[in-house]
């Protein structure tokens, strides 16, 4: 069992490294594979790059952070999705189920369209604020309703509707066509704004939340038969729920503010991964982070190249590819039972 | 050693085992359990009887410590449960719910292994001790050859056996069961109760069937609207008068050797 875990983790890491190494060589600028790798190696302290500074910048300051941000976002969204599905005991749960993404969109729109913050606040900061506001509202609402897990889900649905309405209202009444297009693009999820700062921010949040979730791996196992059963197994249900909801909401808020609401990864990748690892969270959580990372690296590569020179929002591509993959997984699952 | 909350009167809190001292639970202003006292003797099987809504399930949850008492105290080896702590409580007391369901894809062995959670620390993998406890629990519940099967492929009776195996993997000294034989046919009811009766633990079991309770329990506690209305051996408790009082039905009770047998009588006389 442990051997299998090591094999899966090792395989996942190798797949991720290979994916990143290949993805950075792909792009509209015509730079040879060898030149790209030499450039990356030189920045990592090994050898010299022969590339001109401009082309070197394309590799190290554009493609590299973007690919890494894709990996971090994919890992984080898949992780949050897996935790949410187990905690809420709902296979349809995803990282956005608590209204985090809708709150983020309202926050972003408030900054970009309404000019809240007077230019001193960035779109990402606005989105982050909106995400936390929405999450706080959901927690307050669900607490007042008795804090059972289905109340949390219903509160999330309510918040999602409210903030979507606010976003649509603001965009339709106040935004010009150009701003609308920009906001829409961001809402659908895009990694085009990636830089090293965002990569480090998101990677830091991912590392923190991954540690918290792995520390609660057996606790999450205990939720399989519901909260009362978990309590019977010695779990402090209220505390575990609060910690895990806050941790995943925080990571989701950071990721959404940096890359928009990239859908589907958090919903489907945990299901795909469970087919590989089984339901034990000690294995599921790290492996689903890896599969999410590999998936989003490739999907983003596709998103920025397939309709060259235009770029498709990565959230659109995740769904276009993800839906058929999901159907296949569901079919295989049905045959098994 | 801390002093238990029993204030001298009534039965004193024993220093060993599970003890409920005048516990009450109020939900939405209504008393669900109203001043019940229960002292468990090591190894005995106590049956909880009473009509629907009499507070059996709530009392079990109070005994397990998953629900806090409104007044009164549940002690384990003389210490109140909140002081013992959730994890330590779960290493001593295991519960089997009336009906269990999961959407998670788990093998029978994985379900039973859940019982090891209170014994494991965060970050530490399952040990050889954990694996052995799971294997033994599967064996005792007669599920060894089902271990690798998906929990979802089990029948109702097997699912309950799996939950009992999970409870045994917790290595409890007290086992609390809430109508575990509900929805099972008579063969599986008897199988399950035989299994439970042979376990080397102190058992509290809520039951609906008075005859099964008489057959399998050393002692009975009868609840009505949250209060204890009778307590004692099956022969002492299961009288026509009590059955009439609590359930509102007429019955004849035959004192067979070993345990009483109850025969319920049809109401009225005009019905064909």
- The three-state DSSP-derived secondary structure of B240-270 is HHHHHHHHCCCEEEEECCCCEEEEECCCCCC
Sheet containing B93-96: give its strands across.
Answer: B93-96, B174-178, B202-206, B45-49, B219-224, B227-232
Which residues on chain B are in Cβ contact (under 8 Å) with A89?
A: 102-103
User: For residue A121, is pLDDT > 90?
Assistant: no
Dihedral of the CA atoms A175, A176, A182, A187 (nearest 10)? 30
pLDDT for B271: 44
Judge: B110–A234 Cβ closer than 8 Å, yes or no: no
Alpha-carbon Rg for chain A in angstroms:
20
pLDDT for B10: 43
Q: How many residues does chain A have?
A: 337
A175 vs B220, more confident: B220
User: For residue B60, is pLDDT > 90?
Assistant: yes
User: For residue B5, is pLDDT > 70?
Assistant: no
pLDDT tens, position by position, A56-92: 888 899 999 999 999 999 999 999 999 999 998 888 8
What average pLDDT does this structure show over B246-269?
87
Judge: A233–B101 Cβ closer than 8 Å, yes or no: no
What average pLDDT does this structure show over A90-110?
88
For residue A195, how far is the Cα from the chain centroid?
Answer: 17
pLDDT tens, position by position, A189-226: 889 889 999 999 999 999 999 999 999 999 999 999 99
Tell me how far CA of residue A98 lies from CA of A147, A244, A269, A315, in angstroms. Answer: 13, 12, 19, 19
Give the burial class of B263: count Cβ atoms within 10 A of its Cβ; 0-12 exposed, 13-18 middle, 19 or more buried: exposed
Query: B66: which 2 tokens?
Result: 């998953």
pLDDT for A244: 95
Q: How many residue pairs from chains A and B have C-beta atoms closer than 8 A? A: 79
- Interface test with chain A among B68, B93, B105, B177, by most A beta carbons within 10 Å: B105
Percent of chain A with pLDDT over 90: 48
Q: State the DSSP H helix or E strand holding residue B175, giving kind and residue range, or none if neither.
A: strand B174-178
Integer Cα distance of A196 and A77 in angstroms:
19
pLDDT tens, position by position, B81-134: 999 999 999 999 999 998 888 888 899 999 999 999 999 887 777 889 999 999
Which domains does chain B possess?
18-101+171-264 (3.40.50.300)
Query: A67: which 2 tokens?
Result: 């690919």
Integer Cα distance of A215 and A126 in angstroms:
31
**Terminal-residue alpha carbon distance, chain B:** 66
Nearest CA among A169, A189, A205, A185 for reference residue A75 = A205
Report residue A333's pLDDT band, with 50, 70 and 90 as the boundaries. Answer: low
B110 vs A47, more confident: B110
Integer Cα distance of A129 and A132 in angstroms:
5
Integer Cα distance of B230 and A48 in angstroms:
89
């039973």: which residue's tokens?
B112
Backbone angles phi, psi at B252, to 5 degrees: -105, 140
pLDDT for B15: 75
Of A234, A279, A280, the CB nearest to B86: A234
Largest Cα–Cα distance in chain B? 69
Helical axes A149-174 vs A64-88, angle rounded to 10°: 140
Concatenating the DSSP letter of every residue in A93-117 gives --TTTTSHHHHHHHHHHHHHTT-TT
Query: B44: which 2 tokens?
Result: 């005995």
Judge: B103–A91 Cβ closer than 8 Å, yes or no: yes
Judge: B122–A216 Cβ closer than 8 Å, yes or no: yes
Backbone angles phi, psi at B23, to 5 degrees: -80, 145
Cβ count near A194 (within 10 Å): 25
User: For residue A48, is pLDDT > 70?
Assistant: yes
Integer Cα distance of B116 and A218 in angstroms:
10
User: For residue B4, is pLDDT > 70?
Assistant: no
Peptide bond preceding A309: is omega within 30 degrees of 0, i.e. cis? yes
pLDDT for A132: 92
Q: State the DSSP H helix or E strand holding residue B73, giving kind and residue range, or none if neither.
A: strand B71-76
Query: A303: which 2 tokens?
Result: 């998103």
The alpha carbon of residue A334 is apart from the nearest alpha carbon of chain B, in Å, by: 12
Of A90, A215, A278, the CB nearest to B123: A215
Average pLDDT, chain B: 89
In terms of CA atoms, which chain A residue is nearest residue B106?
A: A279
pLDDT tens, position by position, B139-160: 999 999 999 999 999 998 899 9
pLDDT for B269: 52
Strand B71-76 and strand B18-27: pairing?
A: antiparallel
Cα A160–Cα A163–Cα A167 angle in degrees, nearest 5:
130
Q: Which of A4-8, A18-22, A165-169, A286-290 has the lowest mean pLDDT?
A: A4-8
A126 vs A310, more confident: A126
pLDDT for A220: 95
CATH of the domain at A233: 1.10.3470.10
Which residues on chain B are in Cβ contact (under 8 Å) with A216?
A: 122
Contact between residue A241 and residue B123 where contact means Cβ atoms under 8 Å apart: no
Backbone angles phi, psi at B209, to 5 degrees: -85, 115
Cβ count near B218 (within 10 Å): 14
In terms of CA atoms, which chain A residue is nearest residue B177?
A: A232
pLDDT for A313: 86
Which residues on chain B are in Cβ contact (under 8 Å) with A233?
A: 90, 114-115, 117-118, 170
For residue A178, how far is the Cα from the chain centroid?
Answer: 27
pLDDT for A165: 93
pLDDT for B1: 38
The alpha carbon of residue B128 is apart from the nearest alpha carbon of chain A, in Å, by: 13
Contact between residue B47 and residue B205 where contact means Cβ atoms under 8 Å apart: yes
Contact between residue A120 and residue A151 where contact means Cβ atoms under 8 Å apart: no
Residues contacting residue A275 through CB under 8 Å, at least 6 positions apart = A329, A332, A333
pLDDT tens, position by position, A285-323: 999 999 999 999 999 999 888 877 778 888 888 888 878
pLDDT for B34: 94
Q: State the DSSP H helix or E strand holding residue B81, giving kind and residue range, or none if neither.
A: helix B81-84
pLDDT for A109: 87
pLDDT for A337: 44
Query: B266: which 2 tokens?
Result: 């049809």
Report residue B48's pLDDT band, with 50, 70 and 90 as the boundaries. Answer: very high
B6 vs B195, more confident: B195
Query: Can you name the residues that pair with B27 across neighbouring β-strands?
Result: B30
Integer Cα distance of A40 and A8 in angstroms:
27
pTM: 0.89
The domain total for chain A is: 1
Q: Is the ipTM of this complex over 0.90?
A: no
Domain that holds residue A120: 2-336
Query: B65: which 2 tokens?
Result: 């410590």
Contact between residue B117 and residue A218 where contact means Cβ atoms under 8 Å apart: yes
Contact between residue B164 and residue B95 where contact means Cβ atoms under 8 Å apart: no
């Amino acid at each position: 069992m442990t051997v299998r875990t090591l094999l899966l983790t090792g395989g996942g890491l190798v797949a991720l490294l290979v994916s990143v190494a290949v993805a950075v060589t792909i792009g509209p600028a015509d730079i040879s594979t060898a030149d790209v790798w030499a450039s990356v190696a030189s920045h990592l302290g090994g050898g010299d790059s022969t590339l001109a500074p401009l082309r070197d910048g394309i590799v190290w300051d554009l493609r590299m952070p973007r690919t890494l941000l894709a990996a971090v976002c994919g890992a984080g969204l898949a992780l949050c999705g897996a935790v949410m599905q187990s905690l809420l005991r709902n296979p349809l749960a995803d990282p956005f189920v608590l209204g985090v993404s809708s709150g983020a969109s309202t926050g972003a729109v408030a900054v970009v369209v309404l000019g809240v913050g007077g230019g001193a606040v960035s779109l990402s900061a606005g989105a982050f604020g909106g995400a936390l506001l929405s999450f706080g509202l959901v927690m307050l609402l669900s607490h007042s309703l008795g804090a059972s897990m289905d109340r949390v889900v219903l509160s999330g649905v309510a918040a999602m509707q409210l903030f979507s309405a606010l976003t649509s209202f603001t965009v339709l009444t106040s935004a010009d066509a150009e701003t609308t297009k920009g906001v829409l693009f961001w809402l659908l999820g895009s990694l085009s704004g990636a830089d090293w700062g965002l990569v480090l921010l998101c990677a830091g949040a991912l590392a923190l939340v991954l540690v918290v979730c792995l520390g609660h791996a057996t606790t999450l196992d205990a939720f399989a038969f519901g909260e009362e059963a978990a309590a019977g197994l010695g779990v402090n249900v209220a505390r575990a729920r609060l910690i895990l909801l806050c941790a995943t909401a925080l990571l989701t808020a950071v990721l959404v503010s940096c890359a928009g609401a990239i859908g589907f990864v958090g919903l489907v990748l945990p299901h795909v991964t469970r087919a590989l690892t089984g339901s034990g969270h000690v294995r599921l959580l790290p492996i689903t982070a890896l599969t999410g990372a590999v998936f989003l690296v490739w999907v983003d590569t596709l998103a920025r190249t397939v309709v060259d020179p235009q770029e498709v929002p990565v959230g659109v591509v995740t769904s276009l590819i993800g839906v058929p993959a999901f159907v296949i997984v569901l079919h295989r699952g049905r045959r098994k039972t | 050693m801390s002093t238990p909350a029993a204030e001298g009167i009534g039965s004193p809190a024993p220093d060993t085992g599970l003890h409920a001292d005048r516990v009450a639970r109020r939900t939405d202003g209504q008393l669900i359990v109203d001043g019940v006292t229960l002292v468990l003797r090591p190894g005995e099987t106590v049956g909880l009887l009473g009509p629907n809504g009499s507070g059996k399930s709530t009392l079990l949850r109070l005994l397990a410590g998953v629900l806090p008492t409104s007044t009164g105290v549940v002690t384990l080896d003389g210490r109140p449960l909140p002081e013992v702590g959730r994890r330590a409580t779960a290493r001593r007391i295991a519960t089997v719910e009336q009906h269990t369901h999961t959407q998670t894809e788990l093998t029978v062995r994985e379900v039973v292994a859940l019982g090891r959670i209170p014994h494991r620390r965060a970050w530490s993998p399952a040990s050889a001790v954990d694996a052995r406890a799971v294997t033994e629990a599967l064996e005792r519940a007669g599920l060894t050859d089902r271990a690798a099967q998906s929990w979802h492929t089990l029948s109702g009776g097997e699912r309950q056996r799996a939950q009992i195996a999970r409870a045994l993997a917790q290595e409890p000294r007290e086992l609390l069961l809430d109508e575990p034989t509900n929805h099972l046919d008579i063969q599986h009811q008897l199988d399950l109760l035989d299994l439970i009766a042979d376990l080397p633990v102190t058992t509290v079991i809520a039951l609906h069937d008075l005859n099964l309770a008489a057959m399998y329990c050393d002692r009975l506690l009868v609840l009505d609207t949250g209060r204890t209305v009778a307590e004692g051996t099956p022969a002492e408790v299961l009288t026509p008068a009590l059955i009439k009082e609590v359930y509102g039905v007429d019955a004849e009770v035959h004192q067979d050797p070993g345990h009483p047998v109850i025969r319920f009588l049809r109401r009225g006389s005009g019905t064909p």
